[in-house]
Structure formats: structure tokens, C-alpha cells
Structure 1
């Protein structure tokens, strides 16, 4: 069985090449369990040899001994086992983020990593369309880690999760239009929305008016003619907009910020029951 110790700049201070002998035990692990201890704050790996007749204790997947012989340290990325297929497969199973160090990133190893965490797509050096599609089908938001965002991959991501639209670097207009047609809330994720796309959203769902940054007066009219209650979301309530809302629903008088006599009379003419919403004297 091969043994190894993982270290950083701090722990290296008590380690040296060759025999290390102290009253305080050294902790090390087998090659099989080594991937469990290669963390982001560990920079070096040393092979461990045990002196003859040394006492070794074992707890969980760690070994302890007061006397060990250490090979020269090597940086994690230069560890020779990254060229060993069996070790790499075991490493990815235990810690998918170790894919970064593997020299030969086969499709099998890449998919094994992606099965655990699609963020590992960012660690794949050769992002084939197949691997990107594999990742996106598992998690549409993986489009964020695709180096070459083709139209086909972007479409696949957005059709599965509309939020993926926000992660696309260059949002093709056709893709945006299709997304808004399917889900009007997609306008929230547009980087460069235009009036045409806003209208596409509104005609599909007037509720999308709440997602439009600067609606035009025509947009407000379109919405209020269909549901006057949207008046409550309008800051600049012109007389024209208030009248349109009240004609659609007299109860919208309650949402008028600055009531006028003519607006109140219009509402009462359409529905006398809205008297409770009148806040100004009419005499």
C-alpha cells in the first residue's frame, strides 16, 4: 500500500525530506483516500515510507505514526498520478473538482465529474459540443461555463430554464424574441431590451408591465384598457391614464393618487358604490 501526506506552507515547516521523527504523530493517508485531502488550501504532496517496526495507528481513513520517511515535496498539479487512469477515476469520484489536475480528461472522466457538479464544466480544457450539451441538459445554468456559447447550446439552455438567458454573453435577438414569446418574464433577463420585445411580452401577458424599466405611455394605455388595477403601479398618473383605468373598472378610483372632481364623478357615474373611495369634497 502506498501512503501520502498533503501539506501547505504552514504544515511544511515541520516536515523535511527523509526521516521525520517526533513525539507528535504525523497524519497521512493511502493513495486511494488521497483525493479526500487535496483541498484548495493544500499545495504539496509527499510520498510516505514507513521505517521498519514503526508503530502505526489507524482511524477512519487516516494513519498516524511518530516516525515517517518523506520523499521530496511536489506541487499538487505536478503529482505523477494525474497520468494514472485508475487513480484519476477514483479521484473524480471522491472530489469532482480534481478534474482540473487530470492530464488526459477523457469523456468518461468529464461526464463523471459533471454528474456530480456541472460547475466542473469550467475545468474541462476541451469543451466539446457533446460535453457542453451533456452539462446543460443536467443544469441549464451550466451555459455560464461554456467557453463557446453557440446558438444551439444557448437555445437548449433557455428552453429548459429561462434564467439561463441572463448568463448568455451575446444574446441573439432571435433567441430573445423566442424566449419572450414563450415566457414574457424573460424580459427581466435581457441585457439590451428594446420596445419591440417589450410589446411582445405585453401582448402575451400584461403583468410583464411591472418588469419593464421605462414603459411608454402607449404601453400604459394598452395595459389599463385591459386591467385598470395596474394604475396602482404607475408613478406618473396623468388624467388620461386615470380615466382609462376608471372606465375599465370604477373601483380603480382608490388607486388614483391625486383625485379630481371630474375623475370622481366619472367613477360614481359608472358605479355609485365607489363613493367610499372618494377622498375629496365634491360640493
Structure 2
């Protein structure tokens, strides 16, 4: 996977590429990454990359000529690249989109600044637009880092274990199960006994239930989208029976309270 990042602040990426999984992926040659400084393609002596919008209004827009030249330069180096503009108006980035991007060979990530990018750039030089959420940032650099991190960890031989990415949150439309490490007891809270049992079948069952519980409590919308298997349905049915039992017991308590007994 080859990443080219178009930005007016290339120095922001030096530290990002020098640490963690991304650094190891570069060292293993699973990815290559470089920046293209949009200012290098500016046409005036001040290296200007912004200009006033036609029609008036607040803020400035990225100039068309430097942006177009920078994208075309990146395309010459990697002709098969898909060009992505990071913008709040784009498709919402999620794990499924990360998997889709990981299946590609080359990505050009265009980091806008100011009030945005001239629409003619979007119409002629951008393959698709991506947003990391419904909020506004000062530029596309942080979204570009998020996308590179999420995509890189899905590539073969970039994580510690072969199944690590497959068991991440959202990979199966569920949040990941709870995790515990040493010490066995911390501030009078103990690690669940099943995790110390050595019974891998019981541990897998506990982790599935933990994953379902966490998803139900934190992101129930994910359960609505997921096609549940028989084991997951059995767990949810058991919860239903337990909840009904609790409701019935509360109803009885209410009757007793009203009767004064």
C-alpha cells in the first residue's frame, strides 16, 4: 500500500510515521508513505495556496492551480492511485470503508485547509470524499492520519497476531469484549474467574457475551444491523428470560408494597 498525502503542513506527518504500527509497517515494507507539499506548486513568490471565494463571504479557499498540480504530480508517481479528499461533506468513515480502502494499492489523501476546496477540483480530480465525523476541523491532516492508521492495521503482517484485526471492535459489527491484565486484583476488583480457568471454550463464550453486552449498552444500533448467529441469539434469549424474571419480581414487590404487607 502506497500513501501520498497532499498538505501544506508536511512536517505534521514526520512523527506520525515514526511511531507504532505505522512505523513497523513502513520498516516491513507493507506500506510506503510520503507527503507532497502543495506550496511547492504555488505560482507566486509568496507560495500562496489560498484565495478569496467568488461571490464574497468569510474565509478563504484553496487555490485551484497549486492543488491541481500537486494531485497530478502524485498521480504521475502512482498512476493507479485513488484520490480521496478529506472533507466533512464526504462519506462517513467506518470499519467497512477501512476494509475497502485496504484492498487498494495506492491512495492519495488530499488535506484541505481554510474554507475548503474549489468545486472544480472535486469534480475533475477527486475520486471520492471521506469524512471522519459530523464536525469541522481546521484541516484534513488529522483525518488523513486516522485513515492511514485504520487501513494500515488491516494489512497482512502489520499487527502482532494474525487474528488481531479480525477481533477488533466493529470488525464483526460488535464492540470488542472487555480486557483484563495483571494484577489479578486491582483496588478490590478481581479479574473474572473464567479468564483464569484455562478453559478456552468457556473463555470464548464469556468473550462473546461480553462483546454483546458492551454493544447492547454502548451501541445498540450496531446490533440492529448485525445478522446474528444461533449462539448470539441464544445469549439474547437468555437475557430476555432474565429480564422478564426481574420485571415479574418487581411487579410482585409493588403489589406487596401497595397492600401494606
Q: What TM-score does the superposition give when structure 2 sets the normalisation length? A: 0.30
Structure index of larger Rg: 1
Structure of higher RCO (CA pairs closer than 8 Å, 6+ residues apart): 2
